[in-house]
Amino acid sequence: MQTPISSFPICVALVEDDMDFQQVLCDSINSASDMVLVSVASTRAQGLKALDGVQADVLLVDLGLPDGSGIDVIRAAHIRWPNCSIMVSTAFGDEMHVMQSLEAGAAGYLLKDSAAKSTVTEIRNIHQGGSPISPLIARQILMRFWDPNKPTPDTAKLTPEKACVVLSAREQEVLEFITKGFTLDEIAGLILVSRNTIQTFVRRIYSKLQVKSKTEAIYEARNQGLLE
Amino acid sequence: MKRNPLRLAEDRVLVEQLRLVLGNVGSSVIPAFLAAILMLWVLSKPDNEVGLGIWCAVVILSKLGCYFHARYHLRKGIPFGYAHLLVGQLLFLNALDAAIWSALCWVTLDTASMTGRSLVFAVLTGIAGSSMSLLAPVLPLFVVFIIAELLVVVSKLFLMGDGSYDALGLASILYGVTLIGQARNSALAASVAVVLRFELADSHARLREIEHRQTLAQERQRLMQDMHDGLGSSLRSALLAIEKGRIDAFMVAEVLKDCIDDLKLAIDSMEPVQADLLLLLATLRFRLGPRLESAGIVLSWEVDHVPALDWIDQRNALHILRILQEAFTNIIKHTQASKIRVVTSVTDVCVLVMIIDNGQGFSVEQGISSAGKGLGNQIRRAEAIGAEIRWESSAAGTNLTLYLPIKR
């Protein structure tokens, strides 16, 4: 993992208002030979403006910005830079903040108290398609996708918006292992697939979550429109 | 409860009463149509054909008017400030409706046969009665209806200039008064029902509010206690050590890392775990895993399916997390272990969580009796959740077992 596969450096963009943490991030990215810092913003406005510039491979966003929520930046970046891996930086990696970010299009998160060295590792990891996932998030996702009346072909016909995004049996199995405390490596061993496959499972689960929350929002809005 | 029965209720209740009345209107439309067409069919004669036709059309129009008016206001909702104005509108509409119905006397009485006349009165009596059940929730509406109906009917009867019609007129007035008395009773019943419903809703809301406040207070208490025991005491002892110059930057960093772990677990414990012990253990591993890894300790995760422990709420979850967190920190700090096994198993009454390390071991008696808060704290927390904790320690390592009851 130390030696990057690609000869191109990883372009990293930052949106972070905590000056100390911003400094730590800048220092560790600048000292990594395989990374280039393309933009640094400390407000929501600057962050949105940076999306007009050079497209980054990894975007690191803080949620609590002085002039608004980083969620807006994540949402905009997800549309403007579809190939960019978005990472949210959070103090505690708590369920609420992480779920919000994932639903907006983030693919992972970075704990603010991680050591400087593991920060660059995390950036490399997400760039290569790896996404961290905590047991509480896994449980939350299982609950979001849980359907009391198992999706039979009939119900799929009835509510196409809701039924189109479902977890595959394998994805569900992986999430259940995560809620029991197994690491991705252990799960790869348990269900006899490679670690890379497990990583793509997690990424795919995250993008399904994002699609689901988006279609649900549209569905909700349409329902509201009917009621009004 | 002595008050003027004609006075309108307070806005909130009045709106409900109006909704009842408006809701009733729909059910009266079809019977009214049938009655009007029946009259047209039975009583129509060459000399009153035009008049009766017009009457029938006007009745149907009036009823439709009432119906669409009611439907419009039910759909749109009735703002409190608008209720009195709506009562005014309904007073007018109902007076008009009553007058139109009773105009039937004026159109047919002169020419109809005896049977026809009886039919006219049967219909007018029926209309008065059905209006009573329709309009009773707001009494003034019915009073206006019956007065308008009586005025038109009785005036015609007296004009007939026949003693028996005069008697019929008087009987009609008596009937009207009786109906008003009836309507008053059902108005009372309806308003009591509406008021009771509001009182019930109010007291439910109050109960929920109290419950909510209690939950908040308990949650605050739980977090305060936890901060006092964990975060607070770590920070205090670190501060003391720094002030006395007995601690270096590395040790400060260690204390702060502990504190941040403490905080993360406290935050995790706020998520409902729904009786899922493995999820709780998973969370702990997720949070403490990096610390173990950086201490060079290999973790062997040997958990298996365990039954749901329904008694695990947020408070109990935090106790379990803290007991096991303490176990891990003790191993990292004091035992030089290189391997930790986390094993779960199930007996008839308990779920067992075992944390087995290969470190140097310690004297359990000394650990418990010593003034330090380590093992004592774990025992106290285990007691608080009705669980039991035991240690077996030797030079080959330590086996901590937490016995969690399945039912409590």
DSSP string, A169-228: HHHHHHHHHHHTT--HHHHHHHTT--HHHHHHHHHHHHHHHHHHHHHHHHHHHHHHHHH-
Interface residues from chain A to B (CB-CB < 8 Å): 92-95, 113-114, 118, 134-136, 139, 178-183, 186
* Least confident range of A30-44, B28-42, B319-333: B28-42
Task: Please provide residue B406's backbone torsions phi and psi, each rounded to the nearest 5 degrees.
Answer: -75, -45
Cβ neighbours, 10 Å, residue B296: 10
SS3 assignment, position B256:
helix
- When mean pLDDT is compared over B28-37, B125-134, B238-247, B378-387, the highest value belongs to B378-387
Parse chain A into domains and list their residue ranges: 10-127, 135-227
Which member of B260, B264, B286 has the closest CB to residue A135? B286
Q: Mean pLDDT throughout B50-59?
A: 88
* C-alpha span between B253 and A113 (Å, rounded): 11
Q: Is the pLDDT score of B62 beyond 80?
A: yes
Q: Mean pLDDT throughout B111-137?
A: 85
Q: Mean pLDDT throughout B305-318?
A: 89
- The pLDDT of residue A150 is 55
Q: Is the pLDDT score of B408 beyond 70?
A: yes
Interface test with A, best of B257, B268, B304 (most A CBs within 10 A): B268
A178, closest residue in chain B (CA to CA): B282
Residues 6 or more apart whose Cβ sits within 8 Å of residue B392: B364, B398, B399, B401
Domain at A135-227: CATH code: 1.10.10
Q: Is the pLDDT score of B274 beyond 90?
A: no
Quote the DSSP letter at residue A13. E
Q: Under the phi-then-psi rule, with left for phi > 0, alpha for psi from -120 to 50, and beta for the rest, what region is A93?
A: left
- The pLDDT of residue B244 is 85
Put simply, the answer to whether B268 touches A136 (Cβ < 8 Å) is yes
Q: Is the pLDDT score of A228 beyond 70?
A: no
Say if residues B21 and B69 touch (Cβ distance below 8 Å): no
How many Å from the N-terminal Cα to the C-terminal Cα in chain B? 52
Total length of chain B: 408
- Shortest CA gap A52–chain B (Å): 36
A175, closest residue in chain B (CA to CA): B279
Please report which confidence band the pLDDT of residue A132 belongs to, taking 50, 70 and 90 as the band edges. confident
Helix axes B277-294, A169-179, angle to 10 degrees: 70
User: Which pair of structure tokens corresponds to residue B169?
Assistant: 């007129």
CA B122 to chain centre: 48
Interface test with B, best of A177, A180, A202, A226 (most B CBs within 10 A): A180
Q: Is the pLDDT score of B209 beyond 70?
A: yes
Which member of B263, B267, B282 has the closest CB to residue A135? B282
For all residues of chain B together, what is the average pLDDT?
Answer: 87
Q: Mean pLDDT throughout B219-240?
A: 80
Q: Mean pLDDT throughout B129-157?
A: 89
B268, closest residue in chain A (CA to CA): A94
Put simply, the answer to whether B263 touches A135 (Cβ < 8 Å) is no
A136, closest residue in chain B (CA to CA): B283
- The pLDDT of residue A178 is 94
Helix axes B11-43, B114-135, angle to 10 degrees: 160
Please report which confidence band the pLDDT of residue B371 belongs to, taking 50, 70 and 90 as the band edges. low
* C-alpha span between B161 and B150 (Å, rounded): 17
Chain B residues in contact with A133 (beta carbon < 8 A):
none
Which member of B260, B271, B303 has the closest CB to residue A181? B303
- Assess B276–A contact: CB distance below 8 Å, yes or no: yes
pLDDT tens-digit readout, B3-13: 677 788 888 88
Q: Under the phi-then-psi rule, with left for phi > 0, alpha for psi from -120 to 50, and beta for the rest, what region is B361?
A: left
Q: Is the pLDDT score of A6 beyond 60?
A: no
Q: Tell how many helices (H) and how many strands (E) occur in chain B.
A: 12, 5
Name which of B346, B338, B253, B266 is nearest B297 in CA terms: B338
Chain B residues in contact with A118 (beta carbon < 8 A):
290
The correct answer on CATH 3.90.550.10 for the domain covering A10-127 is no
Q: Is the pLDDT score of B200 beyond 50?
A: yes
Q: Mean pLDDT throughout A135-144?
A: 89
* C-alpha span between A104 and A211 (Å, rounded): 9
H/E segment holding residue B389: strand B388-394
Q: Is the pLDDT score of B110 beyond 70?
A: yes
Number of cross-chain residue pairs from A and B with Cβ atoms under 8 Å apart:
49
Interface confidence (ipTM) of the complex = 0.84
Please report which confidence band the pLDDT of residue A154 belongs to, taking 50, 70 and 90 as the band edges. very low
Q: Is the pLDDT score of A3 beyond 50?
A: no
- The pLDDT of residue B240 is 85
Which member of B264, B267, B283 has the closest CB to residue A135? B283
Cβ neighbours, 10 Å, residue B327: 24
Q: Is the pLDDT score of A155 beyond 50?
A: no
Q: Nearest-5° angle of CA B311, CA B353, CA B337?
A: 145
Q: Note if the pTM is more than 0.80.
A: no
Interface test with B, best of A20, A21, A92 (most B CBs within 10 A): A92
H/E segment holding residue B169: helix B163-227
Q: What CATH homologous superfamily does B273-405 map to? A: Histidine kinase-like ATPase, C-terminal domain (3.30.565.10)
- The pLDDT of residue A206 is 92
Say if residues A1 and A122 touch (Cβ distance below 8 Å): no
Give alpha helix (H) positions in B136-162. Answer: 139-159
